[in-house]
Amino acid sequence: MRVFSGVQPTGNIHLGNYLGALKQFVELQDDNECIYCIVDLHAITIPKDPIQLHEHVLDVAALYMAIGIDPKKSTIFVQSDVPGHSELAWILTCSSYMGELSRMTQFKDKSKGQESAPTGIFSYPLLMAADILLYDAEVVPVGNDQKQHIEITRDLAIRVNNRFGDDTFVVPDGRFIKAGARVMSLDDPTSKMSKSAESEMSRISLLDDAAKIKKAIMRATTDSDGIIKYDPVNKPGISNLLSIYAAMSGESIESLEARYAGEGYGTLKKDLVEVVKEGLAPIQSRYAEIRQSQELIDVLKVGAEKANAIAEVTIKRVKEKYGLGIGI
Ligand code: AMP
Ligand code: TRP
């Protein structure tokens, strides 16, 4: 199957990104044709410092490789290096409606309280749909928070297919995993772990050192009833720690509940610190090596060439359907 996904180059990748999305990228590459993108065009929906943006693009590319995405098996490239993304996004814009875009929760959240919302945030889902449809992707591994964006991608593909025929777009499916699919903030377990939260203690980034990992986990917000039980509604803090533990160690939540029955939260937290440290150590040492190497740039160049070759075929087909251009 053809697999496509993307991550924004906006600061350090955290455990939520890793457990919710990136871990699946690695698992999928053995049996599928995987294309993994660093979506820098999405990043500029909010103004970015150009030098920092460039660094973040390379950071994410290096992290992709550090977590185990193998450029010999998967295609890794930067979105803006393939012009087809912007081109198809415009074409899809002309098959979309203001109403459906206004209903996106991400747009509502990000534009709340603003006098005038940026157009880029409004049309963000169309660029994401273009990313996916450009590669005839069948499977899109993402975190739960992207469900609505996958839905609108499917709606757009079906709408265009109804007009021009089912050979226009492949209708993709999202792939959402259970354990860790939604990692919550450590200091406020009722909201999700995010790159943009102000508090550093709310998240663990994949490149955090041992001291930071320990501090964030030991300080994580829990409740006062002292029972280690998975119950996200009534016990969001402990449930979040259990699901991070399960996702990082591969042990099931039930087995963790049984093993820690009668133990204090402190014991669970201390053990989780070790599990997270051990899980991240090999990623961090590979990252340090790759981030400095010329190999990284070479991988992105080859990736862009491979991606372009696929994208050009789709663009030609779609332009023909719409009657655009002179068929060259
Ligand atoms: P972003 O940081 O928004 O570019 O997200 C990259 C990927 O990580 C997407 O597939 C998201 O759905 C996923 N993701 C982001 N935050 C979380 C979270 N707290 N829990 C699970 N998945 C997440
Ligand atoms: N919107 C996604 C996020 O914030 C990133 C993204 C952009 C993406 N294009 C994509 C994910 C295409 C999967 C497929 O996480």
40-60: pLDDT as tens digits: 999 999 999 999 999 999 999
Q: Is the CB of 141 under 6 A from ligand 1?
A: no
pLDDT score of 178 more than 80: no
Mean per-residue pLDDT, 297-315: 98
Quick one: average pLDDT of 177-197? 85
Instruction: Tell whether 103 and 216 lie within a shared domain.
Output: no
Predicted confidence at residue 20, as pLDDT, reads 84
Take residue 44 and report the two structure tokens written for it: 């500029």
Residues 304 and 263 in one domain: no
**Burial classification of residue 272, based on how many CB atoms lie within 10 Å of its CB (0-12 exposed, 13-18 middle, 19 or more buried):** buried
Which pLDDT score, from 0 to 100, does residue 179 have?
A: 56
Average confidence (pLDDT) over 242-262: 95
Q: Residue 80: which CATH number?
A: 3.40.50.620
Q: What is the pLDDT of residue 79?
A: 98
Q: CA nearest 186: which of 209, 212, 224, 147?
A: 212
Looking from the CA of residue 143, the nearest atom of ligand 2 is: 15
Three-state secondary structure string covering 224-242: CCCCCCCECCCEHHHHHHH
Task: Say yes or no: 130 and 229 in one domain.
Answer: no
8 lines ligand 2 (CB under 6 A): yes
Look at the alpha carbons of 66, 69, 75, 76 in this order and tell me if their dihedral is positive or negative: negative
| Phi and psi at residue 232, to the nearest 5° | -60, -30
Predicted pLDDT at 40: 98
Residue 146 lies in a domain: yes
CATH number for the domain that contains residue 235:
1.10.240.10
Residues 273 and 304 in one domain: no
- Please check the confidence at residue 157 and state whether its pLDDT lies above 90: yes
Q: Which residues of 192-201 are buried (b: 16+ CB within 10 A; e: fewer)?
A: bbeeebeeeb
Tell me, yes or no, if 192 is annotated catalytic. yes
As a whole number, the mean pLDDT across the chain is 95
Residues 52 and 171 in one domain: yes
Residue 193 lies in a domain: no
pLDDT in tens, 1-40: 999 999 999 877 999 999 988 989 999 999 999 999 999 9
* CA distance from start to end of the chain: 29
173 falls within a domain:
yes
Kindly state the average pLDDT of the residues 150-157.
98
Dihedral of alpha carbons 105, 108, 112, 118, sign: positive
In a domain, 328, yes or no: no
Q: What is the mean pLDDT of residues 175-188?
A: 82
Q: Is residue 66 part of a domain?
A: yes
**Cα→Cα distances 265→7, 163, 182, Å:** 33, 57, 21
For the question of residue 229 being annotated catalytic, the response is no
For ligand 2, the distance from its centroid to the CA atom of residue 53, given in whole angstroms, is 17
Does residue 115 share a domain with residue 57?
yes
Band of residue 180 on the pLDDT scale cut at 50, 70, 90? low
- The total of structural domains in the chain comes to 2
Mutational test site, ligand 1, from 15, 17, 24, 79, max ligand atoms within 8 Å of CB: 17
Of the ligands numbered here, which is closest to the C-alpha atom of 85? 2
Quote the domain boundaries for residue 261: 200-287
| Choice between 113 and 309, residue whose per-residue pLDDT is larger | 309
Q: Specify the pLDDT at position 195.
A: 84
Q: Are 147 and 28 in the same domain? A: yes
Nearest atom within ligand 2 for CA of residue 39: 7
